[in-house]
Amino acid sequence: MSPTDLLAEIVLTGFRLVPFPARTGVYTLGTPDGMSPVFLTGNYDLTVRRVKRALRGTDGHLVVANSHGVNVWCASSGGHLSTHQVVTALKLAGLEDRVAHREVIVPQLAATGVEAKEVRRRTGWIVRFGPAEADDIPAYLAARKSKTPALRTVRWGVRERFEMAAAWATPMSLVTALVAGGHRWPAVALVWALALAVFFLFDRVPAGERTKQVLFAACGVLGCAAALGITGALSAGALLAWGTAASAMVAILTFDYAGSSPTAAAGIFDEKDFTVVLDEERCAGAWACVAVCPEAVFAKDEPAHTVRITRADLCIRCGACVVQCPQDALSFATPDGRRVGPETIRRYKLNLFGKRATEPEPPGV
């Protein structure tokens, strides 16, 4: 990675909560021929950089669709990278004269918003959902476009946790530095310590969300008391000020922790309590759900040519399986026994707080 790319990666990671658009259109990779693969992604700058880096050495075409500068998962869940955007991007790309096939590899995490069946109906292009992570594209290509469970499951390891901690801590540090006056450096250190603690530990504490929020706030206050004691600055006023700041920071960092991580259903509304259910009568064994689920909820039952829900507890209610099932065999059940069917999930996308906002798709192109 060149120093310029590294700098861009650091800055974009620090501000990844802010949309940052890349140029839309077609990028030629290497020296493609008529059978070279076609990839598509959203126009979030960091994503485009990472996809291009992952595809270094691969001959092909990269179509960048307009996701309004938002990353693929958030854009798909929120209706900014939908069937409409993909259809538009493919029609504008004009690749029909340059490739002899009609297959486009789309990020797996776009499956919540991009309906493969509908893209094919409108354009003739077959959508194949690639791996969950851009870094895994070479492994996916090497495996002849098949996906092991590892390639289709979202990761939440050290790198991803650090990136999300940095994404929250960077803007919070700037605001804190502006308002903390002479205490700006200890305040910024507190922001980073709390952000790292939340993103590395929050999901590992076996307790309810509210309990954990209180626990992390209490730890923040105790940490401040310890630091004030060590520096000889402990007083009731100082503890009140720093303790309040620490509690407020924990509240901000944990308010929608799930929405910043793939460990639990995002949001604070009813959607959190939905359960994915399978209508076994309808299932015809297309296994689109297996290909797009980022949490390994399903297992193929090959002899019976059907699927089983083996880890419903892992489901984050992203809706990808419901959107993609060609038989409409999957839906969500609400805690009071109602069903939320495929058409609703396809039509209504999640807003910033994890609630399905009314966002009908624009008319076909």
**Of 74-82, 97-105, 228-236, 312-320: span binding ligand SF4 (CB under 6 A):** 312-320
Q: Which of 321, 325, 340, 350 binds ligand SF4 (CB under 6 A)?
A: 321
Q: Is 104 in the site for ligand SF4 (CB under 6 A)?
A: no
Q: Is 318 in the site for ligand SF4 (CB under 6 A)?
A: yes
- Return all residues near 342 (Cβ < 8 A) that are at least 6 apart: 322, 323, 325, 328, 330, 331
Q: Is 295 in the site for ligand SF4 (CB under 6 A)?
A: yes
* Minimum distance from residue 311 beta carbon to ligand SF4 (Å): 9
The pair of structure tokens assigned to 265 is 């259903």
* Minimum distance from residue 51 beta carbon to ligand SF4 (Å): 22
Give the number of other Cβ atoms within 10 Å of residue 358's Cβ.
8
Q: Which of 48, 221, 315, 329 binds ligand SF4 (CB under 6 A)?
A: 315
Q: Which is nearer to ligand SF4, 20 or 298 (CB)?
A: 298
Positions in 266-285 near ligand SF4 (CB under 6 A): 276
Q: Is 50 in the site for ligand SF4 (CB under 6 A)?
A: no
> What are the backbone angles phi and psi of residue 319, rounded to the nearest 5°?
90, 0
Q: Is 81 in the site for ligand SF4 (CB under 6 A)?
A: no
The SS3 assignment for 225 reads helix
Identify the burial level of 35 via C-beta atoms within 10 angstroms of its C-beta, where 0-12 means exposed, 13-18 middle and 19 or more buried. Answer: exposed
Q: Which is nearer to ligand SF4, 242 or 332 (CB)?
A: 332
Q: Is 167 in the site for ligand SF4 (CB under 6 A)?
A: no
Q: What string of DSSP letters covers 62-91?
A: EEEE--TT--HHHHHHHTSS-HHHHHHHHH
Q: What is the DSSP letter of 26?
A: E
**Of 87-95, 124-132, 151-159, 313-321: span binding ligand SF4 (CB under 6 A):** 313-321
The SS3 assignment for 193 reads helix
The SS3 assignment for 117 reads helix
Which residues are at the interface with ligand SF4 (CB under 6 A)? 276, 292-293, 295, 297, 315-321
